[in-house]
Amino acid sequence: MLPLVALAVFISWFLYFRKKSDPVLPRYVKWILGGVRIISLTIIGLLAISPWIRTSQTITEKPVFLVFRDNSHSMQPLTDTAATVAHRNEILADITDQLGSDYVVREYLFGEETRPGSQWNYLDELTNPEELFEYVRGLEQVETIGGLLIATDGVVTRGKDFPDASRQVTKPVYILGTGDSTLHPDIRIDEVIANEWVRKNSLFQVRVYFHVDRGMEQGVTIRLHERNRLIESKPVPQPSQSQGYIDFEILAPEQGTMLLEASVIAGLTDKNTDNNEKSFQVKVIGKDARVLAVYSAPHPDINALGQALSGSPQIRFEKLPVSDFTVIPAECDLIILHNLPSLKDPLKNLLVEASTRQIPVLFIIGGQTYPLALNVLDGTVQISGHRREPEAVSGVISGLFSAFILPERLTEHVEAWPPLEVTFESFSGSSAREVLLTQKIRSIELNEPLIYLSKSPGGKLGIIAGEGIWRWRLHDYLEFGDHIVFDDLFSGLIQYLLNDEDGNRFTIDVQEGLTGFSPIRVNARLRNPSLELVNDPDVTLTVTDSAGQKSEYKMGRVGKFYELMLTGFPEGEYQYVAETELGIEKFRQQGSMLIQKKKVEQLAPVSDFSSLRLVSRLTGGRFFTESEGALLVEEISKMKPADIPVRTESKWYELINLQWILGILILLLSLEWFLRRWFGTR
């Protein structure tokens, strides 16, 4: 810079001051022209080297205040009115106006996920506070957060609750508690238990579990419908009890799928009716079941089972000595093996075939049973500890059994039944098993099962650990005058084991318990004539809604199976047809799926204000209800940012890009030219 100025001064001196006397230009004019020339040359030199100029500016930023609105379905309970919603919006609008001068207010919606938004539509199916506060922590990485306001009812249906999820938040959290925290009388249907598959023309049970909160003053009725047809209606005997169940007995039709619904009628006392219904499906097997009982020697246990099933005309019960059991018939739905396999008759090939064809097997274990022969069942049955003499073992009902509905008076009968003769000490294997009875030797209860059921890749299995069940049936008649409990127990056990038509070479499985717009998983299996899984040919799935509109899909391949994920289906009843070809064979499976409108959040819509108050205390904020909206607005109006972020912003300019420099240069050169012309010089 200094050499540039020195050069400009030298040039100006050479032009105007080299001669001490100049009659043309007065002395003061020389000084003006010299100064103008120095400035002009300096500017021209600077433009020639084009230096960069930096400027600094101090900027004050407003902190950010976050407003979150719970957009889940529970935020719109039955008690809400248009005035309630308008008042809620007015509170948040006033808060936004009060904060606008000191904060940058940003509004968000949360429920299943958190996203920007300020308009409620209450369409989120879930409330996930954990995801909400993770979103807040992400914003803290890039923003200066001054505080948070959350408008919510506190109902949580996924992840941690509000207090646990908010523990890492460092800013004060203000809560606007919405909804009603009053615990009103409420009755809801918790669960419906019924066999997924039943045989045609058979009677099957449906058990409806209900739960009563805080008692009902009026009578309560539970109804069972098939589509729009009322099947049966039963009153709840004591609606003030906290929980209970009602049993229904239904006759299955010839074929098809029964779309059933259990509902509660509770009158005006029940404020929440969204949890008063539960829909389910029961699929009817339209063919008779063939049950083959194979024995090493005639035994009254076989006759007892046959008599128990005699009341089920849809089941064909056949007895067969092991000497005649050389091949499994083409039509066989269940095999009962008494005292088999044995050392004399290991039945290895037949057990492998039963596993391959997924034919369920019920084993009645006796002294002749050879445990090692059961290893062909993929290790799902492991029996050890052979006793020299059979042990007299009684049964105890397992409280965790849920495979099928047990007879009403079973506990009383099991306690009275004579013990079975159990030859082996230990029964283990698959962890995916349902234990019906555990063992009791005299007064000592053991963890070993006496009767249990399990599922394996080769189909369903049942184990009766000892011989002598015929005594149970005989004792029932002598002690209670009938065989009803025994027959119902073993009829239910056999019905559970009976093949659910998995013997078909092409099967389709659609998950149950579907709700509107939730993902739907569809699985398919295809077997060749050797019953090996294959998935070379394409499988087409056509879904038809109640209006007759069809949607066609091609299923994908996963391993040796087919799989398809469907999305975007609203509540309603749908029919589906799956089709494929293998060589010259054509396969077709059809069924139905019921998508419910059940909202998870409406199962417990009472506002949880206690958890929300705890969040405010933990974070240094405050809690207000909607009725205290004016106090919340007043409290928010007093808030001032504790720390106002200040940052310095620097900018760089290239001198040649400053247009006003060119204007000054033209002005100076024009002034010099004018003065020289005015005083008669060039």
User: Is 465:364 a contact under the CB 8 Å cutoff?
Assistant: no
Residue 163: cis peptide before it, omega within 30 degrees of 0: no
Can you name the residues that pair with 115 across neighbouring β-strands? Answer: 109
What integer pLDDT is reported at residue 54 of this predicted model?
A: 67
Give the 3-state secondary structure of residue 252: coil
Give me the CATH topology for the region 186-285.
Immunoglobulin-like (2.60.40)
Give the 3-state secondary structure of residue 133: helix
Measured in degrees and rounded to the nearest 5, phi and psi for residue 500 equal: -80, 50
Identical fold for domains 64-182+606-637 and 289-497, yes or no, is: yes
State the Cα torsion 603-604-606-612 to the nearest 10°.
-130
User: Is 342:296 a contact under the CB 8 Å cutoff?
Assistant: yes
What integer pLDDT is reported at residue 501 of this predicted model?
A: 44
CA distance linking residue 362 with residue 364, whole number of Å: 7
Task: Record the tokens describing residue 389, joined without a space.
Answer: 């003499």
Write down the H helix ranges in 465-546.
Answer: 469-480, 484-497
Give the 3-state secondary structure of residue 308: helix
What integer pLDDT is reported at residue 58 of this predicted model?
A: 59
What integer pLDDT is reported at residue 368 of this predicted model?
A: 92
Other CB atoms within a 10 A radius of the CB of residue 82 amount to 7
DSSP 509-530: EE-SSEETT--EEEEEEEB-TT
Can you name the residues that pair with 221 across neighbouring β-strands? Answer: 235, 265
Give helix 2-16 / helix 27-49 axis angle, nearest 10°. 140
CA distance linking residue 354 with residue 349, whole number of Å: 9
CA distance linking residue 146 with residue 126, whole number of Å: 28
Through-space distance between the first and last CA atoms of the chain, rounded to whole angstroms:
30
pLDDT, tens digit, 9 for 90 and up, residues 213-264: 665 556 788 899 987 889 999 887 766 556 678 889 888 888 888 888 888 8
User: Is 315:293 a contact under the CB 8 Å cutoff?
Assistant: no
Give the 3-state secondary structure of residue 215: coil
CA distance linking residue 531 with residue 352, whole number of Å: 12
pTM strictly above 0.85: no
CA distance linking residue 424 with residue 466, whole number of Å: 8
User: Is 166:173 a contact under the CB 8 Å cutoff?
Assistant: yes
What integer pLDDT is reported at residue 78 of this predicted model?
A: 47
What integer pLDDT is reported at residue 378 of this predicted model?
A: 58
Cβ neighbours for 495, distance < 8 A, ≥ 6 positions apart: 195, 198, 199, 202, 204, 312, 404
- Within 168-236, strands assigned E span 173-177, 186-194, 197-199, 203-213, 221-226, 229-235
Task: Record the tokens describing residue 592, joined without a space.
Answer: 């139905």
CA atoms within 13 A on the CB side of 427: 25
User: Is 75:179 a contact under the CB 8 Å cutoff?
Assistant: yes
What integer pLDDT is reported at residue 208 of this predicted model?
A: 86
Cβ neighbours for 337, distance < 8 A, ≥ 6 positions apart: 294, 347, 361, 362, 363, 364
Domain ranges of the chain: 2-56+649-678, 64-182+606-637, 186-285, 289-497, 506-596
Query: What separation in angstroms does the CA of 268 have from each of 129, 186, 215, 429?
Result: 33, 10, 13, 52
User: Is 452:435 a contact under the CB 8 Å cutoff?
Assistant: yes
Calculate ∠ Cα 440-445-449, nearest 5°.
Answer: 65
Give the 3-state secondary structure of residue 193: strand
506-596: which CATH number, 3.90.1150.10, 2.60.40.10, 1.10.510.10, 3.40.50.620?
A: 2.60.40.10
The segments of the chain whose pLDDT lies below 70 read 1, 14, 18-25, 50-60, 77-81, 181-185, 213-218, 238-243, 267-274, 375-379, 430-432, 457, 499-504, 511-513, 517, 529-532, 597-605, 641-659, 679-682
CA distance linking residue 320 with residue 290, whole number of Å: 13
User: Is 453:461 a contact under the CB 8 Å cutoff?
Assistant: yes
User: Is 668:8 a contact under the CB 8 Å cutoff?
Assistant: no
CA distance linking residue 416 with residue 413, whole number of Å: 5
Tell me the CATH number for domain 289-497: 3.40.50.880
Give the 3-state secondary structure of residue 396: strand
64-182+606-637: which CATH number, 3.40.50.2300, 3.40.50.410, 3.30.460.20, 1.20.81.30?
A: 3.40.50.410
